[in-house]
Amino acid sequence: MLTENALTVLKKRYLLKNEKGEIIETPEQMFRRVAKNIASADEKYGGDVKKAEEDFYKIMSNLDFLPNSPTLMNAGTSIQQLSACFVLPIEDSMEGIFESIKNTALIHQSGGGTGFSFSRIRPKGDIVHSTGGVASGPISFMKVFNASTDVIKQGGRRRGANMGILRVDHPDIMEFITAKADQKELTNFNISVAVSEEFMQAVKNKEKYSLINPRNNEAMKELDAEMVFNKIVEMAWKNGEPGIIFLDRINKDNPTPHVGKIESTNPCGEQPLLPYESCNLGSINLSHMVKDGKIDFDKLRDVVWKSVHFLDNVVDVNKYPLDKIREMTLGNRKIGLGVMGFADMLIQMGIPYDSEEALDMARKVMSFVQEEGRKASVELGKQRGSFPNFKGSIWDGKYEAMRNATVTTIAPTGSISIIAGCSSGIEPLFAITFIRNILDKNDRLVEVNPYFEKIAKERGFYTDELMKKIAENNGSVKGLEEVPEDVQKIFSTALDITPEWHIRMQAAFQEYTDNATSKTVNFREEATVDDVRKVYMLAYELGCKGVTVYRYGSREDQVLTTKAEKKATGSKKPKPRPVVVRGVTRKVSTGCGNLYVTMNEDEDGLFEVFARLGKAGGCADAQLEAIGRLISLCLRSGVEAEAIVKQLKAIRCPSPLLARGGPILSCPDAVAKALEEHIKGKKPPETSKLDNFAALKEKKSETAGMGDVQALVGPVRVCPECGSPMVYEEGCSVCKNCGFSTCG
């Protein structure tokens, strides 16, 4: 049965709409549309198309299995692009770079995400023979890709997402490591350093290693490996990036080394791919695989076989954005079957997430999924033929046939887990209770995890007061005397669980996963740099293929605050106003009309601010007067103007405006930008009255839409679609209310 949240997500992104934006299908019709389209591939192989359609419809409509979002959105439509993951090569030439940008635009427009290695690009300052000039380096071109992503609409339903990777031995590695120190830079990228076995051994042995110029493969200089590793760790502690991928380990498991080397992964890191390769993903809902407190392996086997069949069919009916992608994908026929609802499964079995028993269960479940998935792929290989690059692959000689070069992946399940009504991927619960915004009623309700609610009521300790108390306790039941100790253990949340247990769980699943695992290692705000370093080393030692960490509160887009803001100590009295002050007035066009912002200074700098709309009077002017008074009070009390700008910037209202200098999201946002320009001494940008959000929303071109505008804004503090808080898990900021994700 679909939850209210699931219906919200489906209506916003998945159900088909007519030209007026009206929904024209039900969830059941969506599942039927997808099942019928994917089953049609059976006709090519002489299979029973009708039976396949019923099998696929049943596992989706029962929420036992769901494919990745592009398949649900696009199957059976004119778009018909069904893959979530792509990797594109970037050559060391202007032609090659901009060819990749064009191809990226085509992929993003169709709903896919892209991964790149920038390691082939010559370093900054290197010679360019064709022009006699010097190279600008890979990070400069990453910014071009980032800007391109800003203006590409993904069918109106998914934002563009990128993974940027640089080898640790690239001469520009230090610039890359700090590329996202300013969180307003590369906002459409996740970034990861590709580290080698040689580098990791140099770190452990406190040795130096060589930086290699990719233009001529010559060593340029040496760096201290431990210093570089510590810088990666320091930046990850500050804001979660860069992550690390263990590239040699990934290529050791490359199923088709005779076809090429793996250079990059998809945006969330769980799918290593060859250049021009794509992959189709799907996840089994483990919360539905429990019967009487035990795993129902018969049901799980049935769903695995049908899911492999489904995903293999996707390869055939997919519409590929580039001929090269079609050729590579059909050559290897990679699929990625994963799981979601793992935390829910453990709860039903009474197993704490941070326990040896849970690790054993992870291995037991995933080894079964992998084993049965491979059996299903072998059987399909016998019936339909092995993937074309089978001969010479790692499976050649192990199996008489194999339909898919890879079978299993643990992918992020942000939106589809909301549809399925289960926990995300292999993550623990984020919170036992959380606040849900009811937009049409302007109300906020405490929402409780259904498993916890059931147990609490059965055991007689459920009260509304307790649920509110849990919400105030970081959404956690730890330390609450009203909750029995055994229940506290079973319902550990992401921040209750130590980072070491997070990485051990990732490693347990990785043991039985062909590709890689998407998992966020959560740290409390007070975690140290050394804590992060230990986890990065532990990930390496336990056999993970990569690692992503997130320290609570370390990003500007962190909004799900689970404790009260720390009270400022001491107090300041505002400076008295002198008789004479000097100042300027800036005119800023907004969706509410022309705004006039007056900024006055004394001998110490900015002193007071007044803001008025051209059309005087009304509630809007009263609010602006209040904003001006409070800003002035802050300035006169010694608060830095930059801190005020940060608070007001990106506040949204129903009437935003797209100006030539960037989007004006509201009157407070306009005041912030006027202040910022004044501080920096910029001239006010010209504003186009035609380029407003409403015009973009109505425009039916291929490259404009509300998605474009959202991408321009940068990191979000709250969900840009429904206004609810966003949480960080599986490498992405995700809205648990409507399913919006910064990773697409």
Active site (annotated) includes residue 268: yes
| Closest alpha carbon to 679 in 645, 705, 631 | 645
- At 228, phi and psi to the nearest 5? -65, -45
Q: Give the distance, in angstroms, between the CA of residue 371 and the centroid of all CA atoms in the same chain.
A: 29
**Which member of 85, 239, 268, 449 is catalytic?**
268
Neighbouring CB atoms inside 10 A of 230's CB total: 15
Contact 246, 546 (CB under 8 A): yes
Helix axes 356-384, 499-510, angle to 10 degrees: 30
| Closest alpha carbon to 312 in 250, 389, 212, 402 | 402
DSSP string, 101-116: HHHHHHHHHTT-EEEE
Helix (H, G, I), strand (E, B) or coil at 189: strand
Active site (annotated) includes residue 737: no
Beta bridge partners of 338: 283
Cα(490)–Cα(480) distance, integer angstroms = 14
**Which residues contact residue 671 at a Cβ distance below 8 angstroms, ignoring those fewer than 6 apart?**
588, 595, 597, 609, 611, 624, 627, 628, 631, 648
**Which member of 53, 241, 263, 270 is catalytic?**
270
Token couple for 71: 């398949």
Question: Which segments of 159-292 does DSSP mark as H helices, in order?
Answer: 173-177, 197-204, 225-239, 247-252
Contact 75, 280 (CB under 8 A): no
Active site (annotated) includes residue 743: no
Helix (H, G, I), strand (E, B) or coil at 139: helix
Cα(636)–Cα(608) distance, integer angstroms = 7
**Which member of 5, 162, 254, 266 is catalytic?**
266
Cα(1)–Cα(697) distance, integer angstroms = 33
Cα(254)–Cα(424) distance, integer angstroms = 27
Query: Which amino acid, residue 195?
Result: V
* Active centre residues (catalytic): 266, 268, 270
